[in-house]
Chain A
Amino acid sequence: MTGKPDIREILKCVRCGTCRSVCPVFRELGWESTSARGRLMIAGHLLDGGLPDEAALASLRSCTTCGICKEICPAEINSPQLIEGARRAISGRGLLSEAQLKLKTRIQATGNSLGEAQDRLAWMTEKEIPDRAKAVYFAGCLNSYRYPQVTARTLSIIKPLGVTVLKNERCCGSPLLRTGIAAETIDHNLEQIRATGAETVITGCAGCYTTLKNDYPPEFEVLSLSEFLEEHISDLKLKSLDITVTYHDPCHMGRHNRIFDPPRRVIEAICNLEEMKWSREEARCCGGGGGVRSGYPDLSLRMARRRLEDLPSNVETIVTTCPLCMKNLNDAGGMAIDLIDLVAQALPEHASGSGSSPGH
């Protein structure tokens, strides 16, 4: 995952413009430099030794790496990967945006992307957790600090299935890697995971998932929470609820890692599922990923609002499997909950401390 992007891969682009028809950032901004085709032209120019101006930096940094362009590209070009490569190249030249610098400093100082100084495990209601276990629940920064009830619910539900947590978890590295900066917390987390002897790492965050799965050495199995829940669905003895929800595919769960069915099967074991206008491979990005939420908050919100237009009529509750998507969709006025919130509602008796309704 290091090194410069391959010029040959960029030359495969015949500039047919198919990506223009789906790129959610281009849809909002309209400049050619904000479509995948434009970004590849800029990346190619930089590889040729060209100097990046403000528009070039904005072009490369405004991509959420949602990957819908890759899905549809007739030449099968992996634009998100090339764009991350170009981001590494510009970061390598010392060109970091204010948002990137802030993020890097925060993670170095606090071990989390939010710059929170308090205990990362403050959400935990369990008094004791085992040092060693078959599986580890990797909570992630956002869930640990912003959605403590999600992490608490998750652990209370999966702990009996042989799961522990890391005593000293740090940022998985995703926010830095996605914007082209090396992540030093990876080695720290690796040691922690090894110490538990776990063969499986479970996470309920799309950013953590793709990073653990694709940027960490393949020493352990990585499961998304939805896959783990699906595997244990009969153990959970869920009751059915007479409601209809929809599901938003986080880009880094769906398109990037092809986890489309497990969350849907869990939802359908509980209640009715009605799909959004664009779903699965074609799901539109919420606007939160790839550093866009921190770098371009207005753009990010506009994309989230656009995504809310895809809701089926008469369905309000959006279930998702990524705290960043959940936060962005809710900030845009949506009613998004984590999959675990729905599961918690369907348990024979509510898990302790989880409250009575799915909240956010």
Chain B
Amino acid sequence: MMNLIDDLRRLVGDRATDSSSERLCYSRDASQVRGLPDYVVRPLNAIEVSEIVRLAGRLGVPVTPRGAGTGLAGGAVPIKGGILLDLSGMDRMLELDLDDLQVQIEPGVIPERLNWALKEHGFFFPPDPGSSAMCTIGGMIANNASGMRCVKYGTTRDHVLDLEVVMADGRVIHTGSRMLKSSAGYDLTRLMVGSEGTLGIITAARLRITPLPRARRLIAASFPTAEAGARAVIEAFSAGIVPSACEILDRTTLMVLSKCNPNLALPMDGDLILFEVDGSEQSTAEEAEQIERACSAAISVRIATGKEEMEEIWAARRLVGAAVSRLDPNLSRVYLGEDVGVPISQIPTLIARVERIAEEAGIPAMKYGHIGDGNLHAALFIDITDEDRWGALERAADRIHLAALDLGGTVSAEHGIGLARARYMERQWGEGLDLMRSIKRAIDPQGILNPGKLGL
């Protein structure tokens, strides 16, 4: 190991380091997981990645891939040390093939930048995590990330046609093709999506792109209870409407938002559901009307069509994450128990349980999220300099995870498992986890790729 840094430098020059400060900067993501790498390397192509992985394999050194380090579960934190591969510098857009509705990109491309480039051609890449401005598409694929618009357009996995992957033995394989459909053998692409760097390292991705809709409408409906809101969502779905976004903001969230911005143009009298429909002028007008009818139990319904009006409402929605620290500078949001999912019909029950759990822990909680696909973000806030509060927070997060599983849900709907949620995998998967372990052993027998993650 003594001269591994020299070997790495022979491969990539000054894009490899063992400086203690640089290692410190790569020891965390946006979660509470910590792990110091021994080396940080910034490769620029699949050949370099392959050589680094072969070298690591010869020495049995762990390799942990990382995009922008914006993850919320420690997926890119090198908890067993070894080599941290920073892939964010591999950020070229390789091919734009509009005729075949696809692009090929390197994993470090930032989704917002891809969408800027696609916009002028009338296309977009739909998955839209809150971190679209800074995360990488490689990280999105590794975690099967999604966002508000996925209720209509599907999650990242639905947009991946082919991946170039460096395997644990250094081989470079392709998991798919340019084809929009294929029924030839195992779906290796889907095996890699969501594998969090434990099966291979993505060095290029071919993505399906989608035409931009011509019109959008936003319907903001305020309900006396979250349950009534969830009923309206189910009713709208049953009427054949697939909204392009379907969000819930509970009354605690609204109260906090209104304190941050008293001029906020949102109804404050109940739990709020935001529906967005997209398509043509005519189709969105019709669907907005249908949604209004589905919201018969609402206290108030407001339909927004103006670009600015809609942008203002979405801006308020985006503010949620940071809102409480603006209200009370001593409180910080801690991302634990923040990404559970349940079947849509169970959302009101989950909200009620999260409310009780937070109350019993004495922790303020905002509940908001993508009700259209059953994904609830519980935002818990504590004074992070207070040790006792950390204990209470961890217990509350644990109970939220168990509540979701109890309701037939998942501990992570879009952020991933990493280390933060690894201990729930057995409970969520049962024997299915054994199969995952077998797959891992078959593909990475030495266990050098992102070891310690996914509860494998």
Contact = CB atoms under 8 A, between A and B. Distances in A.
Interface of A: 8, 11-12, 14-18, 20-21, 30-33, 37-38, 41-42, 45, 52-56, 59, 74-76
B68 A53 contact: no
B24 A41 contact: yes
Interface residues of B, number: 35
A16 B89 CA distance: 18
18 contacts: A11-B384, A14-B30, A14-B332, A16-B30, A16-B70, A17-B131, A17-B135, A18-B131, A21-B112, A30-B42, A31-B17, A32-B25, A32-B26, A32-B69, A41-B28, A53-B21, A59-B25, A74-B321
B316 interface: no
A52 B21 CA distance: 8
Contact of B86 (A8, A11, A32, A52): A32
A16 B112 CA distance: 16
A20 B68 contact: yes
B88 A59 contact: no
Chain A interface, DSSP helix/strand/loop, else mixed: helix
Interface in B273-330: 321-322, 325-326, 329
Given A17-B131, A18-B134, A55-B21, A76 B326 contact: yes
Interface string B325-361: 1100100110100000000000000000000000000
Nearest to A32: B25
A74 B88 contact: no
B207 interface: no
A32 B22 contact: yes
Contacts of B86: 30, 32
Interface string B4-31: 0000000000000101111011101110
Contacts of A12: 325, 329, 332
Given A8-B385, A15-B29, 17 more contacts: A14-B335, A15-B70, A17-B30, A17-B68, A17-B69, A17-B135, A20-B134, A30-B86, A31-B42, A32-B22, A32-B25, A32-B40, A41-B24, A42-B21, A42-B24, A59-B25, A74-B322
Interface of B is mostly: loop
Contact of A45 (B21, B68, B112): B21
Interface string B362-396: 00000000000000000000001100000000000
Contacts of B134: 16-18, 20-21
B26 A53 contact: no
Given A21-B110, A32-B25, A16 B131 contact: yes
Nearest to B68: A17
Interface in B34-48: 40, 42
Nearest to B91: A30
B133 interface: yes
Given A15-B29, A75-B322, A21 B133 contact: yes
A130 B236 CA distance: 78
Contacts of B88: 30
B67 to A, nearest CB: 10
Contacts of A18: 131, 133-134
B9 to A, nearest CB: 15
Contacts of B112: 21
Contacts of B29: 15
A16 B70 CA distance: 5
A56 B20 CA distance: 9
A11 B326 contact: no
Contacts of B21: 33, 42, 45, 52-56, 59
Contacts of A56: 21
Interface in B53-97: 68-70, 86, 88-89
Given A20-B68, A74-B322, A45 B24 contact: yes
Given A12-B325, A15-B69, A17-B68, A38 B332 contact: no
What 9 A-B pairs have minimum CB-CB distances, sorted nearest first? A74-B322, A56-B21, A32-B25, A38-B25, A55-B21, A55-B19, A21-B134, A17-B70, A21-B133
Interface in B120-135: 131, 133-135
B410 to A, nearest CB: 23
A15 B30 contact: yes
Interface string B92-127: 000000000000000000101000000000000000
A9 to B, nearest CB: 9
Contacts of B19: 53-55
Nearest to B89: A30
A14 B333 contact: yes
